[in-house]
Amino acid sequence: MKADILAIGVHPDDIELACSGTLLRHINAGYSVALLDLTEGELGTRGTPKLRFEEAQKAADLMGAIARENAGMADGFFLHNEENLRKIISVIRRFRPEIVIANALADRHPDHGRAASLAADACFFSGLRKIETLSNDGSIQDVWRPRAVYHSIQDYHMTPDFVVDISQFIEKKMELVLAFRSQFYDPESTEPDSPISGKDFLEFLYARAREFGRPAGYQFAEGFRATRLTGVKNLFDLD
């Protein structure tokens, strides 16, 4: 089952927070999207792994993703090692995405930067023939290297290398975020407060999208970083 875009987030809800507007835009344009959460978010202040899994599946269904998987790495303690690289490589080779979107290169949560490096390295190693991984039926997977890897911008402010117009999809993005009811603003919740559980955090998401959109002439946008120079073949493709 091929996906045009594979979005990788270390915690369930990272994808929704950082790049779901972009994914919605591409799904609306006819592209297919698959999602991979690296951990269950078991160290989170609120919720449980079971509940967060249910919320993640609901968000994926609302988005229209063709699949959502969890790599089962240890939240907070996952390592940049062969075992975890192979887990991601296997998923990349199965979905064969043209584009991978990964976590922010650096962020308030230290997992984000480590996951960004792990995902980017897995994309490179996935193209090496001497690294063998097995499919579900036990056969050796074909190699595959995505055409591009882009990193979302989540909590820390960074100057984006490019932005994607999500003006048409901002409310749907917020619906996806709020599918994670255990994590975000819920006036009826009895769980402990966290840095992202207040109403002000939802307001921040709108403000961040406005901030990224305004210089490009969009009402709302999501920003991305690229670790290599990106090019364009037609100047009229640029807004």
Strands 33-39 and 5-9, how do they pair?
parallel
> Which tens digits make up the pLDDT trace of 109-166?
999 999 999 999 999 999 999 999 999 899 999 999 999 999 999 999 999 999 999 9
Residues 205-227 pLDDT 10s: 999 999 999 999 999 999 999 99
What pLDDT is stored for residue 32 in this prediction? 98
Domains and CATH numbers, the chain: 5-228 (3.40.50.10320)
Q: What is the DSSP string of 194-221?
A: -TTSSHHHHHHHHHHHHHHHGGGT-SSE
Q: What Cα–Cα distance (Å) separates residue 94 from each residue in 4, 6, 133, 142?
A: 12, 11, 10, 8
pLDDT at 176: 98
